[in-house]
Structure 1
Amino acid sequence: MRFLATFGPALVGLAASAHAASINYTTVKEYFLQDESSTDASTFDYTAVNFGLINRTYPADKDINSPQTKTQWERFYHQVLTLNKDSSQDVEYKVLFLGRHGEGWHNAAEDYYGTPAWNCYWAELDGNCTATWFDAALTTAGMGQALVAHNFWQKEINEQHIHTPDSYYVSPLKRTLQTANYTFTGLKLPHGSTPFVPLIKELFREGISIHTCDHRHSRSYIHELFPSWPIERGFTEKDELWNGVTAETSAAQDARSRKALESVFFSSTDPKQNTFVSVTSHSGEIASILRVLGHRAFSLNTGAVIPVLVRAEKLAATPTSSSLSWTVSPHCTAPPVTSVSACVCPSSAAPVTIPLVWNL
């Protein structure tokens, strides 16, 4: 095999717009275990703790006849509706179910090669002789993780009478599309529930790096995979955000996440009834969303789901724009000298900042 250096797509999307907050987001605490500093994210199992919903009473319980006959999720849903009913028109409460995709081939490859070697060389290729991780698909294990989520949702529907999402959003990357499909397709939803027809949304994608797993397929390819799923207006045929040269900074990604959330909040004809929202996304993007929401850092395992109760308030300030720079990421042109703590390129393969093309 040989390695060639080439420039990728046109250098577009190299800066993200930063808008002064027209909506202020805060996480409403004391409802979920994942909000508490004592909860260890590395051992958290959402299926063992009712999505993390804390067993407690609510102020709105007084309005329910025989609240002791209602499940925790039924009473929580009533509490959220009450919060919305009692708030001003500029305040809205929503519960975001943030789901990370199941294991993808890029996750398996990173485990195989080790993170330093993955980041500085292998991740810049489309794959190796046995697997492809460009816009990575789910592994068999990843499919299983999504089915765990499916079965748990059904259990919560049957036993907890949970209110299922009023709207669904999904990242356009293949692993998230597959995860959402395995998770929600075929659920026996309660009568009157919103059917599972997710909106494919560009800005809920993973943090954009030079890794090829962050490079999405074309709009035509995505539509062919799931032809009945709507794709948001303005979604481009080719991926104009990924170029294999520059990567988002955390600040640029947070600006993107904020813009994505702006289209979720205060967006429907009856927003205060559209209270439960599913977002199937990625570890890095969920981390960014949590930062925007003022939530503590909480890393999700592949396939995991956490709900977050969010208070959003419209502000009177007029949005302004500024430019947020992206960053260049040097990488090796041949497999690196392996290291447990850092990547070391061979002396004959100096780091470059242009895409690599892998050829058999």
Structure 2
Amino acid sequence: MRKATSFKLSTLAGYFLQDDPSTDPDTFDYAKSNFGLIRRAYGSETEESKEDSQWQKFSREIQRLNGQAEPNTRYKVLFLGRHGEGVHNVAEKRYGTKAWDEYWSLLDGDEYGTWVDARLTDVGISQAKTARAAWEKQVKHSIPTPESYYVSPLIRCCATAQVTFDELDMPLTKPFRPVIKEANLIGMQLLRETMGEHTCDRRSPASTIATEFPQYQFEADFTEEDLLWDAKTRESNEDRNKRLFELLCDIFASDDNVFLSLTAHSGAITSILEVVGHRRFPLQTGGVIPVIVKVEGNRPRSK
């Protein structure tokens, strides 16, 4: 397995409403606000480009930033999507967070069903359809569409990505073949939720995932069974941050594309935002947040 290269990561604020401390995450609606894109002028604008859409101007601005960047510096745009509501989210609401964390989350389920590798509810599917409609709307305004797609191996994320992107009128969605991001022999570079104890975060066997999502791509080291989930130990926020930092470094070391989609979990996205220096911005289930990341450091040479 390739050892992850370490980069210096930071975020570039001032482009999206989610960057602004005055934007309330509890009431913000990404689908009704063009994913949060701020209507403003950029240094890349010309007289001829003033009539272009804001997304077209944004795309040129990212191109300008990369074109004028110092050596070993690049800019990436991450579209971070949280999975839709899962049956485990409903169970936590049913019992309350304290009882959920201390007792119910350690079980496989209750009288209403199982939440091991939790599935989407009807509400969760509807939230993924909302994300799909949001992308469809923004495509008409020339949003820069993802050039790479990554997804957590947990079923709720695979299903959210499927409903959102499959056969959408965008590049790389016909067919939709995201990379399931879990290089798990060393337990790092995982696009997964906080690890351990909670059975909703124990993934299904690779064969089950492959049967339900036959077009999805597995990394070479993906194991049949989940060798990483630990029934007795819950990952700390600090360790989760380290893991998600390693994930980003792994992607940035190997992926030359600028616009990247990651479908993941609330904890994973919280850590991604933290390690790039973005303000805390909890996403509702099914929510999406775009983030500009400045990547500084030498990339490994190809062998």
Normalising by the residue count of structure 1, what TM-score does the alignment of the two structures yield?
A: 0.77
1:95 aligned to which of 53, 77, 85 = 77
1:132 aligned to which of 105, 114, 121 = 114
1:251 aligned to which of 238, 248, 255 = 238
Number of the residue aligned with 1:198 = 178
1:58-112 per-residue CA deviation (whole Å, 9 max, x = no partner) reads 00113xx621221001110111011111113411101100000000000000011
1:170 aligned to which of 151, 176, 179 = 151
Query: Larger deviation: 124-133 or 140-149?
Result: 124-133
The 5 A counterparts of 1:168-317 are 168-189=149-170, 193-195=171-173, 196-202=176-182, 203-268=190-255, 271=256, 274-314=257-297
Q: Structure 1 CA distance, aligned partners of 2:192 and 2:271?
A: 11
Q: Structure 2 CA distance, aligned partners of 1:218 and 1:67?
A: 50
Q: Structure 1 CA distance, aligned partners of 2:179 and 2:71?
A: 26
Q: Structure 1 CA distance, aligned partners of 2:220 and 2:248?
A: 16
Q: Structure 1 CA distance, aligned partners of 2:220 and 2:295?
A: 24
Number of the residue aligned with 1:74 = 56
Number of the residue aligned with 1:343 = none
Q: Structure 1 CA distance, aligned partners of 2:144 and 2:298?
A: 30
Q: Unaligned stretches of 5+ in structure 2?
A: 183-189
Greater Rg over alpha carbons, structure: 1
Residues 84 and 194 from structure 1, CA distance in 2 versus in 1: closer, same or farther, beyond 3 angstroms?
farther
SS at match of 2:75: strand
Q: Structure 1 CA distance, aligned partners of 2:116 and 2:151?
A: 18
RMSD between aligned residues: 1.6
Q: Structure 1 CA distance, aligned partners of 2:139 and 2:238?
A: 38
Q: Which amino acid aligns with 2:251?
A: V
Q: Is the 8 A contact 1:92 1:265 kept in 2?
A: no
Q: Structure 1 CA distance, aligned partners of 2:298 and 2:10?
A: 13
Runs of 4+ in 1 over 3 A off after TM superposition: none
1:289-326 per-residue CA deviation (whole Å, 9 max, x = no partner) reads 1111111111000000000011010169xxxxxxxxxx
Q: Structure 1 CA distance, aligned partners of 2:192 and 2:269?
A: 9
Percentage identity across aligned positions? 47
Q: Which amino acid aligns with 2:216?
A: W
Number of the residue aligned with 1:7 = none
Q: Which amino acid aligns with 1:312?
A: V
Q: Unaligned stretches of 5+ in structure 1?
A: 1-18, 317-360
Q: Structure 2 CA distance, aligned partners of 1:259 and 1:217?
A: 23
Q: Is the 8 A contact 1:24 1:315 kept in 2?
A: no
2:136 aligned to which of 148, 154, 159 = 154
Q: Is the 8 A contact 2:192 2:264 kept in 1?
A: yes
Q: Is the 8 A contact 2:195 2:230 kept in 1?
A: no
Q: Structure 1 CA distance, aligned partners of 2:272 and 2:89?
A: 21
Number of the residue aligned with 1:4 = none
Q: Which amino acid aligns with 2:271?
A: S
Number of positions where the alignment pairs a residue of Structure 1 with one of Structure 2: 288
Q: Is the 8 A contact 1:97 1:278 kept in 2?
A: yes
SS at match of 2:161: helix
Query: Larger deviation: 294-303 or 216-225?
Result: 216-225
Number of the residue aligned with 1:46 = 30
Q: Structure 1 CA distance, aligned partners of 2:177 and 2:54?
A: 27
1:168-221 per-residue CA deviation (whole Å, 9 max, x = no partner) reads 0000001000000000012112xxx33432100120110113110010011111
Q: Is the 8 A contact 1:92 1:266 kept in 2?
A: no
Number of the residue aligned with 1:349 = none
Deviation for aligned residue 1:229: 1.0
Q: Which amino acid aligns with 1:168?
A: Y
